[in-house]
Amino acid sequence: QVHLVESGGGLVKSGGSLTLTCAASGFTFSDFYMSWIRQVPGKGLEWLSYISGSGATGSIYYADSVKGRFTMSRDNAKNSLYLQINSLRVEDTAVYYCARGPDIVEESAANMDVWGQGTTVTVS
């Protein structure tokens, strides 16, 4: 069945870097947009970035709050999605989720229909 599994979280010192990975299975990975979303403990959901199925330059979008520090990429041959986070700040402490979608070109596909279980990043 369709499955997303995040990894790479952990305890990191402020100013450090981390790369999160999302392993996809059960669907044709390259056919789908993918997103990263985070959630600070006890708070709401914050969309971070999304990438088209091809991952081509110009098809990656970021929230202003992370632009320049976060880099999203994908390797369709490995069915994997990545989020590189640089210059980590205490306020980056959160659970990071990957999700399938959205394809905002089509209204019926402009949603995030499959989510991973999340990986926790703690910045001290």
Partner 1 sequence: DIQMTQSPSSLSASVGDTVTITCRASHSIGSYLNWYQQKPGRAPKLLIYAASTLQSGVPSRFSGSGSGADFTLTISGLQPEDFATYYCQQSYSTPLTFGGGTRVEIK
Quick one: which of 98, 94, 106 has its CA closest to 43? 94
Residues 33-52 that bind partner 1 (CB under 8 A): 35, 37, 44-47, 50
70 binding partner 1? (CB under 8 A) = no
108 is a site residue for partner 1 (CB under 8 A): yes
Residue 56 or 77: which CB sits closer to partner 1?
A: 56
**Closer residue to partner 1 in complex, CB, 14/111:** 111
27/61 with CB nearer partner 1: 61
Spell out the residues 6+ positions from residue 74 whose beta carbon is closer than 8 angstroms to its own. Answer: 29, 34, 51, 55, 80, 81, 82
- Strands 94-100, 60-62: pairing kind: unpaired
Residue of 83, 88, 94, 112 interacting with partner 1 (CB under 8 A): 112
Residue 55 per-residue DSSP state: -
Residues 51, 57: Cα–Cα separation, whole Å: 9
Taking the complex as a whole, the smallest distance from the CB of residue 10 to partner 1 amounts, in Å, to: 18
